[in-house]
Amino acid sequence: MVNEGAGFWDASALVPLCIHETRTAQARSCQRKSRQAVWWGSLVEVYSAINRLRRVKEISGLDQANALRRLWQMSSAWREILPDERVRDLAVQSLDKYSLRADSLQLAASPVWCAERPSNRTVLCADQRLAKAASAAGFSVIEF
């Protein structure tokens, strides 16, 4: 069943919800308007991004702890699209159609989320390549 008030969130769009940056206000506004659906690996991707920011000293240890707390809180409420054969098949097909890499898994999870009816469905992301592919696949795209 597709949730009308939902949006499919790429991991790149989740990071500004955890770490304050220029895109945070826009991401929070979108978050208030829709229930989040994400790819199964998004938690790991966002966790990795937060830790990378700490390693390169772009955020403090306190910022890292707060960001990870926010990530865990968000993850308890979002809908995860689990890895299965359909997602894998769609990911492989996406590699043939679009200029993607492993991010094809993110794109492949989005049609599974919406029962392969992308019309009037939204993908939120901060990755230009993925945004272009999602748009070409028929999704409305909110790019941060």
More confident residue, 31 or 5: 31
- Token representation of residue 125: 């992301």
Would residue 122 count as lying in a domain? yes
Structural domain boundaries, residue 55: 6-143
Would residue 1 count as lying in a domain? no
Q: Fill in the amino acid letter for 140.
A: S
pLDDT over 70 for what percent of the chain? Answer: 97
Backbone angles phi, psi at 85, to 5 degrees: -65, -35
- pLDDT tens by residue, 68-107: 999 999 999 999 999 999 999 999 999 999 999 888 999 9
pLDDT greater than 90 at residue 118: yes
Would residue 40 count as lying in a domain? yes
Give me the CATH number covering residue 113. Answer: 3.40.50.1010
Would residue 133 count as lying in a domain? yes
Would residue 107 count as lying in a domain? yes
In this prediction, residues 28-45 reach a mean pLDDT of 94
Backbone angles phi, psi at 117, to 5 degrees: -125, 80
Would residue 45 count as lying in a domain? yes
Q: Are 86 and 112 in contact (CB under 8 A)?
A: yes
